Amino acid sequence: MSTTHEDPLALLPEIFLLAGALLTLLTGSFLPRDRQWVSRSVAVVALVGSATAAAVALAGPARTVYTSTYAVDGATGVVRLVVVAATLLVIGLGVPELSGTARESETCSLLLLSALGTVVLAGASDLLVLAVAFLLASIPLYGLIGASRSSAAAEAVVKTYLLGALTNVLLLLGVAVLAALGSTTVYARLGTGLGGSPAAAVAVGVVAVLAGLLFEAGAVPVHSWVPDAAQGASATAAAFATTVPKVGALVALYRLVDALPGTGPGALDWRLLVAVLAALSMTLGNLAALGQDDPRRLLGWSTVSQVGYLLMPVAVAGRAAEALPALLLYLAGYTVTNAGAFAVTAALPQRRTLGSYRGLARRHPALAGALLVCLLSLVGTPPTAVFAGKVAVFSAAWDGGLAWLVVVAAVNTVLSLVYHLRWIAPVFGAGGTAEEGAGPRWGAVPALGAGVGVLAVGIAAVPLAGLVGPALAR
């Protein structure tokens, strides 16, 4: 395993994203509004190139590069593919909303930059790289959320910016404290370096870093920006902000928790802290979603609850061999499911209440089918993608000694069925409002593609989980 080699080709997927973001922005700057599709095409080509390079790299050996500051292993490889696929889906669902507008190229460029930050966040094995990746992943979100310039978007972006700025400061503070205590910023040496440090000082540093990553994941207690962004931002921004950044943040959390020193007298049990945060996120998210009538706000609170399930394998990092494959499988399934649900709302922008979906199955049966698959997947119904992920994370948490958390998650799964049925029932009910315009055409394609993807990931869960081993490169 390499620990010191410089290897630019190892970062080829990230280079594609960076080059694509810059070229998209430059191309869009010199094109008239009615030809902005060219810049969108540049972004798509860059994403396809990144995915191809990531797929090739996934077959290579796990290693770290640039003095052990960046891991090129199975976890990073899966995140590269998931993030690229989700960004392509978001660009697709945003075509009706952005095509021919003044902000099309800027939006595509911001999507690629945030996707790059998310990938680097997942691959970071050094605290300084982690801090840079956090900024790169989160700053473009502010521009994306506020781009629609509505009052709801303004409120959402202010809340997101304030929470993001606060957690950014905390993360940098935590990095400084841990670097000073451990005399290193590299994860592989952090456990040894922090071994003899005062437990209280280590706790301050770790909790501060965790606060930043929890913001990026949209978890309790720094979650309040998520439902506002889901409701107030454009469909493109909402789908991206509530889905993609948490992919990198949760893998980064896993790497950090796995690298921290073991518990000792007076030391805080980081895994127990993560388990408590998981229980709080899934419970608060589900309870808050029960009373929502706006579909996107409901999805926002559902996102908060899903982070709780995703934190379960993080809580048993290093204690259960299947924890990492379970986390990656759940991330892949959740990403395509949540993006698919947002794609349906993007295809039907006039329907902003649950009641307005009444009769959708009769008017648009394909869209109704895609929505049904995505909502049943969010609940955890077989044979969908999130069902496979839930089985995997429940099994990992049980094997890791957190049976109480599995019970809490099972109760929350039943609870989530209530508010998802509140959306499903009118879709297949009689009646409905007068049809809007010519109906969705291009806008329905990403939703249908996501619906197929949800079933494909659910059915092929076992071979997909085998793409990555239980070990991380150090």
166-225 per-position pLDDT tens digit: 999 999 999 999 999 999 999 989 888 887 888 889 999 999 999 999 999 999 999 999
What is the pLDDT averaged over residues 121-131?
97
Look-up: residue for tokens 């259960």? 320
Quick one: average pLDDT of 446-456?
94
Neighbours of 180 (CB within 10 A): 11
What is the pTM assigned to this prediction? 0.94
Lowest mean pLDDT among 134-138, 184-188, 196-200, 343-347: 196-200
Q: How far is CA 294 from CA 101, 227, 308, 361, in A?
A: 26, 10, 22, 19
Q: Please state, in angstroms and as integers, the Cα–Cα distance from residue 239 to each residue in 94, 108, 234, 317, following that order.
A: 9, 13, 8, 28
Residue 10 DSSP one-character state: G
pLDDT band at 343 (very low <50, low <70, confident <90, very high): very high
Q: Identify whether the C-beta of residue 327 lies closer than 8 Å to the C-beta of residue 314.
A: yes
Instruction: Identify which of 61, 49, 56 has the alpha carbon closest to the alpha carbon of residue 20.
Output: 49
Helix (H, G, I), strand (E, B) or coil at 217: helix
Band of pLDDT at residue 464, cut at 50, 70 and 90: confident
pLDDT for the residue numbered 2? 46
**Residue at token pair 């970071």:** 124
pLDDT score at 8: 82
H-state helical runs in 348-443: 360-363, 365-379, 385-399, 403-427
Tell me the pLDDT band of 439, cut-offs 50, 70 and 90: low
Structure tokens belonging to residue 204: 């301050």
- Cα separation, 47 vs 243, in Å, equals 17
Supply the mean pLDDT for the chain: 91
Q: Is the pLDDT of residue 436 over 60?
A: no
**What pLDDT digit, counting tens, does each position of 272-316 carry?**
999 999 999 999 999 999 999 999 999 999 999 999 999 999 999
Burial of 208 (0-12, 13-18, 19+ CB in 10 A): buried
* Per-residue pLDDT, 433: 61
The pair of structure tokens assigned to 269 is 């049990």
Task: Note whether 461 and 392 are within 8 A (CB).
Answer: yes
| The pLDDT of residue 342 | 94
- Answer whether 108's CB lies under 8 Å from 37's CB: no
What are the residues whose beta carbons fall under 8 Å from the beta carbon of 42, sequence distance 6 or more? Answer: 20, 23, 24, 27, 108
* CA pair distance 319, 336, nearest whole angstrom: 28
pLDDT at 1: 45
pLDDT at 186: 94
Res. 329: pLDDT tops 60:
yes
- pLDDT greater at residue 190 or residue 149: 190
Confidence band for 35, pLDDT divided at 50, 70 and 90: confident
Higher pLDDT, 32 or 413: 413
Residue 5: what pLDDT?
A: 62
Q: Which tokens in the block code for residue 421?
A: 């049925």
Q: Tokens 């009689």: give the residue.
A: 430
pLDDT above 90 (res 394): yes
